[in-house]
Amino acid sequence: MILTITYQALTVLKDAVGIAGNIFAFGLFVSPVPTFRRIIRNHSTEEFSGLPYVYALLNCLITMWYGTPLVSADNILVTTVNSIGAAFQLVYIILFITYTEKDKKVSYPFSHMHLVYCSGSAICSVNQFFPLCSRQVRMLGLLLAVIGIFSIIVAVSLQIVNPFSRQMFVGLLSCAALISMFASPLFIIVR
């Protein structure tokens, strides 16, 4: 009887914390809205970087995949909040591509290719192939790299038969993507 009450209490607590986390995460997803109002008003991305949105999209996609029943059971709140987050990030990236100056060329030094993770390596490869190109082409390349990385993660994780191993694999990648997302604004300062 005591174990049943404890399990029920933990389930209620898990749901309450999950809902609170969703509310907090939603606040993070809408925080760039003032920046994008300015971008739309000025018809220019000015000196803003799109990298944080690219990393945030990758994080949301991987964490959304982690929350699905194919990877981990009973994590619907993780799936829903990251689905919403991925939609927000995709809209931000599309707006960034739309309002980027078409003729402005940018070059990023090798030191800007920063992350060691698989996701960072692939995104950095895009930077190497497009070291001096329009910001639109570069952002589109980064968006395609994120879609490719996510597709590979899904395909590889589905090949892992053991459910615990699959959950650990995707969970570790989700942690790496989360660190990349929160670290990405710091690398803009380096520039």
For residue range 141-186, list pLDDT tens digits in order: 999 999 999 999 999 999 999 999 999 999 999 999 988 888 877 7
Task: Give, in order, the Cα–Cα distances in Å from 146 to each of 37, 52, 53, 167.
Answer: 25, 12, 11, 20
Q: Which residues contact residue 161 at a Cβ distance below 8 angstroms, ignoring those fewer than 6 apart?
A: none
Threshold 0.85, pTM exceeds: no
Q: Which pair of structure tokens corresponds to residue 167?
A: 């959950």
Task: Give, in order, the Cα–Cα distances in Å from 53 to each of 24, 61, 158, 160, 164.
Answer: 18, 12, 27, 30, 30
Contact predicate 94/85, CB 8 Å? no
Residue 3: predicted pLDDT:
56
Contact predicate 180/55, CB 8 Å? yes
Least confident among 29-33, 99-103, 134-138: 99-103
Nearest Cα residue to 147 out of 104, 95, 86:
86
Residue 118: predicted pLDDT:
44
Most confident of 8-22, 26-40, 158-172: 158-172
